[in-house]
Structures are given as C-alpha cells and as structure tokens.
Structure 1
Amino acid sequence: MRAWVRRRCGPPDSVMELDTLPTPPVPTGQSPDVLIRVSHVSLQYSTEMLIRMIPSMPFTGPWIPEIELSGEVVAAGAGAPSELRDPGTPVVAFQTMFSVIFMGHGTMAEYIRLSGSQVTRIDAAIDMAPASGISGSGSTALKMIRTAGVRDGHTVLINGASGSVGSFLVQLCRLRGAKVVGVASGANEAMVRDLGVNEFIDYRSHDSLPAFLTHQYGGKPFDCILDCVGSQAIFVQSPAYLKPEGMVVNIGTLEGVGATARNVLFNRYLPTWLGGVPRQYVMFNTKPTTDDAVYVARLVQEGHMRVPVDSVFDMQDAVRAYKRIATKRARGKVVVKVRSD
C-alpha cells in the first residue's frame, strides 16, 4: 500500500516521502479490530508541527502522520461491533495520539487497522471528504463547549471561527441557543456568517483586538471565550469583556509551543496578587471518541450541521496540503484524498 512517511524531523516538503509499505493483515478470529480502506484524511495543524519537531522513536519503523479519516470496512474480526463487520460499510475513524506520536501509526495510508472502539459507522449519503473531519475536530469542539458549559442564552466569543474546529464551534453553540460572536479574517466573513454567527469581527480591522472587545462588549461581557488561535492578549485583558465566572477555553498555539506552555502555567497558576488574571483558563488536547463521532455524524446526516472543507488534495500532493495548513488561512478542513478510484 502507499503511505506518506517521515524518517527525520523537518519541514514536510523536505522530510515527507510517499512510500510503499506492507498492507496491515486482515483481522481474524475474535479480534476486535477493523481493517479499513482509507478514502480521505483530514489534516491537523498540530501534525504539521509534529512533523517538524518530534523525533522518530527507535525501533518503530516509518513514521506515518495524521489521526482521523473516512473510509470503508474491508474486513473485521468477530470481536468488532456488529455494525462494522460487513465489508463496504462506510465509516469514520481515528488513531490515538500516542500511537501517532510515539509509534508513527498514523492514518495517511491506503489501509489502516484499528480497534473497533475507534471506528464509527456513518450514513452512506455523507460525503467522504468532509466526513473525514468528524472524529477529531468534532470531538474537540464538543469538549470545548461542554467544558465552558455553553447553553441557551449565553453569549460566546469564538476566536478563529473560520478554522476546522471553529466552524464546528459556531454551529454547535448556535444549536445550543447561544449568541455567537465570531472572529476571523475579513476574507472569511461570508463563510463564517453562513455558519450562523450573530456578529462578525474582522481582527485585521483593529490595531488591538482586545481594545476593540473592551470598547464594544465591556458593558455586555461574554459568558465564555473559545479560542482556537491561542491569543495570550485576549486572555490577559479578558476581565474587561468576560464575566467574572466566565472562562477562556484555548486549543491554539499561535505563539509557539514553548511560549504557549509558559502561558498555560502562568494563566492557570499565577495568583492575582502576583499579576495573575482573575478569570478561569483551560487548555487541552482531547482524544476523539466514538460517542462524539456518532453525535456529530447524526447532526450532519440530519442536516443540522455541515463540515466546511477548505480544499482537497490528491494523495501525491499531500505536501501541498501541509503548506496550505501552515498558512493558518484555511477555511475549514484541509483534506487529502487517499483513495484513487
């Protein structure tokens, strides 16, 4: 089978290779595993950073990137869930971050074998390209709104509303009855408004976004801020436009991994009498779950949500897809079409 592999750290265009590897064996007996023919892979911004930074572990073989996919069942063991045992069943699935980071067992390959607990059946009518983003981005967005306790009547600020997770957040918050203020580039305004935001802010139109938020929303502060970008300034100045009981939930690393790690420590543990910000701060990376994938897939199937796709690249053009991710200007998911037919 064909698979994209990385054998050393560096920029994707320098270190990624399209290689031929053995196809995983077919599950037999009481195995709970499912062998999947991969259709599409949805790229993560964090993976582009991992390719550059994480060294290959000894004795692990070629390092294959990415964590989520759409595809169809080739075969399944008798221990797999019954709804996944029929060949040709359309599915979405995810690989664990541990398996990707430390073992290199990612999803950017024509076939992958996964535990049935990481695989979700979907309706055959769902387009495979956007479906590939359901497990990872959908799970992250759900955990963010659950952590923040978003509910009917809340006013929520979403920073990075045009991105892969941000586009899920806009729709999920609106489904919960919240008022949504979306922040993105003005070039993405039409897309973000189409997702359902009540108000739109073009961050490029303001020398200081926190100063604008203070002026515009100081008298009607937000119940929570969901930050997909990782703006430290938004949190530091949040008491001016975030309710005292509100929280900032962040998944972004705009300022780099090292600076973000430092900010997390200060934001969570520095007491106010030493200059800490008197607002709750949460940052996490969350693993996908099949329950979340089932929930989001049902919303998509019923027409309550859609998965915006920025662009789809053929398998041989995956390096170009990573270049698109690296621009931080993608409008929704950047997807690689793995299957050639």
Structure 2
Amino acid sequence: MPTHTMRAVRLREHGGPEVLRYEDAPVPEPGPGEVLVRVHAAGVNPPDWYLRGGLTTMPGEAESTVSLPAIPGTDVSGVVESVGADVEDFSVGDEVFGLLRFPSFDGSGYAQYVAAPASDLAHKPASLDHVHAAGAPMSGLTAWQFLIDLGHDHPSPFQGTLHRPTALDADTTVLVNGAAGGVGHLAVQLARWKGARVIAVASGAHEEFLRELGIDQFIDYTKSRPEEVVRDVDLVLDAVGGPESARFLRTLKRGGSQFPVLPGEFDEEEIAKLGVTVSSAQVRSNGAQLAQLGRLLAAGTVRVAIDSTFPLADARAAHERAARGHIRGKIVLTVA
C-alpha cells in the first residue's frame, strides 16, 4: 500500500507552464465504485492547459468544481492498488487505463496515485505499454464518440440536439482536418477501420506519417486550401475547429455532415443553402467504449503515436511543448 503522501503536479495559482509545481500531496482514498490506481503514465490534453490558464468551469457545468491547489490531468494508465466498495470488474494488480471524471477538471491524473471511478476505466491491453495507453483515452474517445458511437444521451452544451455519428463504409469519403494531432490521427484510423476513404489535412511534415496510417489523399494546408481542391466529401471531422471551421462546408456534398471537435461559428443560412448538417459533441468518460478501442489497439488495427514523453516532474516542459503546436500524436508524462 502507498504511504499517506505522494508526488504530484499541482496548481496553486493560474498562469503559464511555470505555475506547475511538482510537490507532495495527500494520497486520495477511493470511495464506493472507485479504485486507487498507481499511475505509470499520464496523457497531456488541452483541458490540462485550459485549467492551468484559469478556466475552471467546464462547458455545461453550472459552477466550478475546482479548488486550489488542484492536480490537472484526465488520462492515466497504471495498476490498481486498492479497490473500493461496490467494484466488481477490477482487482488489485490489474493494469488499467482511462479518461477520468470527464467532462470536469477533477481527473487529478498528474500524480503517482489517483482515485478513479471504475466505470471510467478499461483493462489495458497486455501488448500496449503504459505510455501508449495513457495517450489513448481522451483523444480516442473523442474520435470514437464523434465517428462511431456517441454512447450516451447527455445533452450537449454546444447544441440542442444529440450528436449522431455518420455511418462509415467503403462508399464514404471522410476529410480529417488536423489529421496528425491526438484526435486526428486516431480518427483517421477509425475511419479506415470502417472502410472509408480518408483525406488528411495537415502540414507537409506529417505526410509520410499519415500515409503510413493508410490515408488515401493528403493535403498540405501550407500549400493548398482544402476547400478549393476538395468536393463531394460525405463527412468532415475538423479536429482543429475554431473560427475558420466553416470554410470546410464547401467541401461537402449535399446531405453531408461536418463535425467540429471545437465549436466554430457557422451561418445557418449557408448550412441550409448547401443542404448539409453541422454537429458537435462533448466527449465523456466511458470505460466500455474504451474497452472496445482497447481491442483495436491490441490487434494493431489502431495505434497511438507518441509525440514526446516527459517525466512527471517536468510537466512544465510538457506544457511548453504543447504550446509550440504542430504535435504529432500525443504528449505523455511518465510517472516513477
């Protein structure tokens, strides 16, 4: 069993990467339905630097659940150290991975130990190391819930209707913008798994990497504007999103759909005129879906690319790497 204290990365104030402190913190106690996980690796994701920068209320939350000092982090891979009441699917010594308590800022994954809801976890495939497993949960579940199965009926803070994925098969063409990033490179592989034709948009530095993932067409956005060279796409998954996302509407065929991972600004009249739909979702923790993704990872059908790794004590350097952008795959913290 662990001692009463552990090493963790905490915020005592909001700001740049320099506010991330590697220090002692209490070991959490797992409650009913939870397990204590000894963390071997923790994924780095956008909500981590949103929290660090001062965002403390998740879209859809009525009020903040954050109190300082706070431990960032949602994605972990590790070993079950102890099991709380009412947990049947996991035992001490099991290797697990998961997206914890999302959507919220309460994951607390940047630590040697974390109390995790059992329902957020899946058994880690034996063939997958902890670093690659820690890179999978948030990005993999985002791609899964946008493309394959939403898997819940919770209302979205971004729209009035539930998101509905588009059926993907050999007759479907999917364009993925931001295809080399965390969500993007996994979305490419899930679309290929379903048999779809995939067009990837990224910078030229990532072309060889994306062709290794099986894409059918590559567009270097530094040389060409996708909306000027692509037409009649069935689905756009925009893993970048934001203000310029609407330009991809012009690549869609009538009846097509655009899924912005980060909500953008769209003109309803333009959407209606083009005869297309725009739909978004908010990724949620889901151990059962992660187990399905885990089977694809175990089979080698889908793989997680690792951009870089940093020791937990160097979380500041990991956030500085994230701020430089042009990430290929995932940034992961290793935990001693």
TM interval, short-chain normalised: 0.7 to 0.9
Q: Where does residue 256 of structure 1 map in the other structure?
A: none
Q: What is the identity, as a one-letter code, of the residue corresponding to 2:227? A: P
Stretch moving more, 51-60 or 174-183? 51-60
- Picking from 113, 118, 123, the partner of 1:116 is 118
The 3-state SS of whatever aligns with 1:243 is strand
The 1:125/1:236 distance shift into structure 2, 3 A limit, reads: closer
Give 2:201's aligned residue: 183
Deviations 1:110-161 (A, max 9, x none): 1011221112112333111011122211111011213133223201100011
Are the counterparts in 1 of residues 245 and 260 from structure 2 also a CA contact under 8 Å?
A: no
Q: Cα distance, 1:234 vs. partner?
A: 4.8
Matched AA of 1:230: G
d(CA) in 2 for partners of 1:236 and 1:330?
A: 23
Q: CA deviation at 1:279?
A: 2.6
Taking the TM superposition and a 5 Å limit, the aligned residue runs for 1:54-203 are 54-55=55-56, 60-82=67-89, 84-85=90-91, 87-100=92-105, 104-146=106-148, 147-203=165-221
Which ranges of structure 1 fall in alignment gaps of 5 or more residues? 254-259
Q: Which amino acid aligns with 2:216?
A: N
Q: 2: CA distance between counterparts of 1:314 and 1:233? A: 35
Cα offset for 1:70? 0.3
Q: Let me know the Cα RMSD of the aligned residues.
A: 2.2
Residue 315 of structure 1: aligned partner: 312
User: Secondary structure of 1:307's match?
Assistant: coil
Q: AA paired with 2:197?
A: K
Count of aligned pairs = 309
CA contact (8 A) 2:7 2:24 kept: yes
Q: Distance between the aligned counterparts of 1:186 and 1:137, measured in 2?
A: 22
Structure 2 CA distance for partners of 1:330 and 1:272, relative to 1, 3 Å: closer
Runs of 4+ in 1 over 6 A off after TM superposition: none
| Counterpart residue type for residue 111 of structure 1 | Y
Q: 1:89 to 1:325 in 2, by over 3 A?
A: same
SS state at 1:10 partner: coil
Residue 42 of structure 1 corresponds to which residue in structure 2? Answer: 43
Q: Which amino acid aligns with 1:44?
A: N
1:245 is aligned, of 236, 245, 255, to 255
Pair 1:224 & 2:235 matched? yes
Deviation per CA, 1:87-106: give whole Å up to 9, x if none: 22110022223541xxx442
Q: Deviations over 1:159-211 (max 9, x none)?
A: 011001111111111110100010111111111111110111111112x3422
Instruction: Identify which of 27, 34, 39 aligns with 1:23.
Output: 27
Per the alignment, residue 297 of structure 2 pairs with 300
C-alpha separation between the residues in 1 aligned to 2:93 and 2:140? 24
Determine the structure 2 residue equivalent to 1:257: none
Secondary structure in 1 aligned to 2:257? strand
Change (3 A) 1:159 1:62: same
Between the aligned partners of 1:129 and 1:199, the Cα distance in structure 2 is 30
- How has the CA–CA distance of structure 1 residues 59 and 133 changed in structure 2, closer, same or farther, with 3 Å as cutoff? closer
Aligned partner letter, 2:38:
R
Residues 201 and 226 in structure 2, CA contact (< 8 A), matched pair in contact too: no
Rounded to whole Å, the distance in 1 between the matches of 2:308 and 2:66 is 35
Aligned residues with identical type, % of pairs: 30
Q: Which runs of 5+ in 2 are unaligned?
A: 1-5, 58-63, 149-164
TM-score by length of 2: 0.85
AA aligned to 1:316 is A
Give 3-state SS (helix, strand or coil) of 2:237's partner: strand
- Residue 288 of structure 1 pairs with residue 292 of structure 2: no
TM (norm. structure 1) is 0.84
Tell me the CA shift for residue 26 of structure 1.
5.6
CA 130–203 in structure 1, closer or farther in 2 if over 3 Å, else same: same
Native 8 Å contact 2:254 2:274 kept in 1: no
Which residue identity does 2:39 align to in structure 1?
Answer: V
- CA deviations on 1:19-58 (whole Å, 9 max, x unpaired) are 211111366xxx3210100011111123213321325968
**What displacement does 1:247 show?**
0.8
